[in-house]
Structure 1
């Protein structure tokens, strides 16, 4: 293995050889070294400031060194490294140094200065460790808010020794060292034309064409080139082609996840790579148990980006192992996991239980984005988790100032969708009202409409804001530059208008204009009603025929003048006779049967969704006798005779003398 010598008397080093130790620069003056280094390093790191300006680092002077014992040299006025004596064993024989111990030390350092201090005490350094040191310097050396390395790091002679060596003789580096050094540079803004970068890329491409790069190096190279050159990089296709020829059994779990990350950048070529993806998806089932929380979230994200809906067995297994990692996910990772589960429609009671424990224990300290993601997951999967909803409601009341308008909407909407009021509902909606009064204009129009509509579903009517949302100015904002308003917004406006008439008769303000309404809440998409379950409807219909004697005595899927669609309508005259469905005269009472299948309830519960609750509430206010036929009651019936008796009790319990 090649070695890089990093003596403490770096001011005496004239050139750096990767074969063995770095020779001491006894024949060149100090300023010659700095001049050479300056020529190599100046074009490196790009400034993040606007415009084409690039930072160039010039060494105006050279530090003076003195020797205390004739051998150990250090800069005048700078402290001698206190670790020197502690690490003498490493200096004497680095070849025997345990590589894992080296990387453990390296990963414990939190600043570039610590890394440079450590490696400056070593007599020589294998090129793989030198590349790892360079990578760690780039990882921890950036200041907060600044992607560039500080000037004092760039001018550090040890750092310069590392960089010049990698630039001058990349052909002598091992594959691992070569791609690791290139990977380190991708952590910073780098001038694409810098000598170091060009040399490393050129050497990588030569080895790629020769087919001399192993799997891990291919994966690292691909990700590095993606960061440097983007998905249009021509070399990427060659790398993927070589990876396809390798046996997946020889890949480490980290390399498999790297494959996913690489392929997700090529979404336009997903069909071309689908056969390869199918192999990866199948093989990945065997490595899920060894994936870290970070890798699990990355695989799930890639599956979403690549639209791998056929990989549900992998998604399910990833979900199974995600359960035990919930406390260990970062906020960002947990958000990606939830996004993936929403996308694939995955839910698991063990995952929900673990999520409940996590949210309840940490909700007050969780990032607002994660809180909104958790609520989005509960809402989209119709999960009525009272522990989560209660904890989130408490967190919002305590820390409402932390939430953005979009996050507030994502947080509140599930309460309406799931038809649930938390114990602190009065405080929750009082806080929401205060925010809306203060920051009404900060909410995007569609976000505000969804938020207020969600409140109306659970009878927390936004009376104080109805005049604003029905105003021509707001409706114009809502429509924006489009020629017409989207159907969901029209339906929400229409239902809010109906709510103001039926449930808020004291509201005397403006109502929406006639053109801002729908004819039916039941539409193929963006519906405010859930279509009737066909199998359940078929069973009930057969029972009604037996009960009433003929199909003519009830109507199906009746659109009312009030935009709602009734599953089954039965008409009665004043004496209690059942009228044919075609009769419109002498109708004294209308019975609305709500045949509620599982999709009209929260997941695995008997709790109606908000949109179904408001529908039944409004139908009652409109004069209908609402009769609910839930699926869980029908499922308990053993025979058709029991079904007829059940319908008799449900329909005519209030009018036992009914006749037909």
Structure 2
């Protein structure tokens, strides 16, 4: 029903009735149905009373009850960690008896709720991996898609699936190709058979080029480029003037998204392209340089303590191709001595000067539960290296958990060469 005063009053009345009936409900299915009915707009006080009721009933939940609870919480848009954690454990215990379709629904609910449980995702990935040749492509691609939404990188599954696709690329239709490309590029997963895998995907895509939409073509090329691979037939088609004009004259947010993807395709052509690659003539609208500037005080403080002076590093440096680095340091070629900014600037063209880029990644820039950078950050690192920088990647969320002395020691080990730095170095990957 459309919103009105009468509808609002009726809805409020239903919520009051539901609240009164909660203590009397003993049937789990009825409780879950009620959660789906009251929806995401229910007052938080009502959601908490339902949460408390479920917590009291958890001991008698079956695996099926646990699965359905995910959907019910997603319908309410209420992320209850005590309930979700308990239900996850119940599902993990019975993972090999969980219907595959229900597993997908559980993971989609996790995505809606922004609930990232590495143990649950790993159990589901291992379940599918253990019988990979029993599953068809139409079953695996939705799983890869929801893992991508969650930022979870199922390494073994993605390696084996890549090998399967490489051996028989005709398994994939256009929809599956786009899903696979997006998942592997966003999660920055480079399978063992990387070149053969990407070449197989490119050849599979070529068959659909005569009838692919321009937007899907752009998405596919953008995904390939994110992984550092340039699919020439698809690129040649994308860079035709009429196609570019259509993509860049879309309305609203689509135009902005298309502009962003085309910008990075252009950057990849400039920085990743081998000399033998013939670049079609194309005009790109420059991506807007307007962006939020984040501060990283813990990293700044550690650098100041380590280097002794603010003149030894620079912050928020704008680079060509619309890239930005959080901290810039210049050193001698052997990376034994940090040079003051003024001195380093005087030697800007000297090959004996080495430039370091300190990048601070937020938790959303990394795959869940790891320090593995996702696709956009990995592409930026690759391009900074092409621009002559040595890149130091800081997982900022983990860095903040280090004691000051550990943070300084970790940065020291990353900045100075092995010969210049002696002593054990804190491992940010393990300790954060």
Alpha carbons of structure 1 residues 592 and 279: separation in structure 2 relative to 1, 3 Å = same
Distance in 2 (alpha carbons) for counterparts of 1:594 and 1:348: 29
The Cα shift of 1:239 comes to 7.6
TM-score normalised over the length of structure 1: 0.53
**1:212-256 alpha-carbon deviations (Å, 9 max, x no partner):** xxxxxxxxxxxxxx9xxxxx9x99998876554335344211211
Deviations 1:348-367 (A, max 9, x none): 34313321221113333436
Distance 1:351 1:637 in 2: 28
For residues 166-188 of structure 1, give each alpha carbon's deviation from its aligned partner in whole angstroms, at most 9, with x where no partner exists.
xxxxxxxxxxxxxxxxxxxxxxx
What displacement does 1:466 show? 1.7
Structure 1 residue 411, shift from structure 2 partner: 2.1
- Alpha-carbon deviation of 1:283? 0.8
Residue of 564, 567, 570 corresponding to 2:323: 564
CA distance, structure 2, for counterparts of residue 278 and residue 631 of structure 1: 33
What pairs with 1:530-569 in structure 2 (closer than 5 Å)?
Answer: 534-546=296-308, 550-569=309-328
Root mean square deviation, CA, Å:
4.0
Partner of 1:508: 278
For the pair shown, which has the larger CA radius of gyration, 1 or 2? 1
1:257 aligns with 2:32: yes
TM-score w.r.t. the length of structure 2 is 0.78
For the structure 1 residues 248 and 511, does the alpha-carbon distance in structure 2 shift closer, same or farther, using more than 3 Å as the test?
farther
Distance 1:655 1:275, change over 3 A: closer
| Deviation of 1:455 (Å) | 2.3
Listed one character per residue, the Cα deviations across residues 42-86 of structure 1 (whole Å, up to 9, x for unaligned) are xxxxxxxxxxxxxxxxxxxxxxxxxxxxxxxxxxxxxxxxxxxxx
Post-superposition Cα deviations, 1:319-338, rounded to whole Å, max 9, x if no partner, equal 22222343333343222111
Question: SS at 1:285's partner residue?
Answer: helix
Distance 1:436 1:248, change over 3 A: same
Deviates more, 1:621-630 or 1:572-581: 572-581
Q: Spell out the pairing of 1:294-305 with structure 2 (5 A cutoff).
A: 294-305=64-75
Provide the residue aligned with 1:103 in structure 2: none
Matching residue of 2:426: none
The alpha carbon displacement at 1:544 in A equals 4.4
Structure possessing the higher relative contact order (Cα contacts under 8 Å, 6 or more residues apart): 2
Unaligned stretches of 5+ in structure 2?
A: 2-6, 421-432
- Paired residues of 2:228 and 2:268 also in contact (CA < 8 A): no
Relative distance call for 1:450 and 1:244 in structure 2 (3 A) is same
Asked whether the 8 Å contact 2:326–2:357 carries over to 1, the reply is yes
Mapped contact 2:302–2:404 kept (Cα < 8 A) = no
Alignment of 1:234-273 (within 5 A): 243-264=18-39, 270-271=41-42
Distance 2:33 2:400 in 1: 49
1:386 to 155, 178, 199: 155
The alpha-carbon distance between structure 1 residues 451 and 581, as it changes in their structure 2 partners (threshold 3 A), is farther
Task: Please give the per-residue CA displacement for 1:131-183, whole angstroms capped at 9, x wherever unaligned.
Answer: xxxxxxxxxxxxxxxxxxxxxxxxxxxxxxxxxxxxxxxxxxxxxxxxxxxxx
CA distance in 2, matches of 1:556, 1:235: 56
Q: Is the 8 A contact 1:301 1:337 kept in 2?
A: yes
CA distance in 1, matches of 2:160, 2:330: 46
> Following the alignment from structure 1 to structure 2, what is the Cα–Cα distance between the partners of residues 571 and 425?
34
Q: How does 1:151-166 map to 2 (within 5 A)?
A: none
Change (3 A) 1:389 1:574: closer
CA positional deviation for 1:508: 2.1
User: Would you say 1:617 and 2:382 are equivalent positions?
Assistant: yes
User: Residues 482-511 of structure 1: CA distance to partner in whole angstroms, max 9, x if unpaired?
Assistant: 167543432222222121122213222325
Identify the structure with the greater helix proportion. Answer: 2
- In the alignment, the residues of structure 1 paired with residue 147 and residue 86 of structure 2 have an alpha-carbon distance, to the nearest angstrom, of 20
Is 1:316 matched with 2:77?
A: no
Deviations 1:367-421 (A, max 9, x none): 6454233223332333332122123324444665554433332222232233322
Give the gaps of 5 or more residues in structure 1: 1-225, 227-231, 525-530
Given the alignment of the two structures, is residue 279 of structure 1 paired with residue 40 of structure 2, yes or no? Answer: no
SS at the partner of 1:603? coil
Deviations 1:546-602 (A, max 9, x none): 1xxx21332101011221111212346999882436985542346232244573543
With over 3 angstroms needed to count, the CA separation of the structure-2 counterparts of 1:288 and 1:533, relative to structure 1, is farther
Contact 2:118 2:152 in 1 (8 A): no
Helix, strand or coil at the partner of 2:56: coil
Partner of 2:229: 460
1:578 has 2:353 as partner: no
- What residue in structure 1 maps to residue 244 of structure 2? 475
How far the C-alpha of 1:606 sits from its partner, in A, is 4.3
CA contact (8 A) 1:594 1:626 kept: yes
Q: Which residue of 1 aligns with 2:76?
A: 306
Question: Number of residue pairs matched?
Answer: 407
Deviation at 1:289, TM superposition (A): 4.7
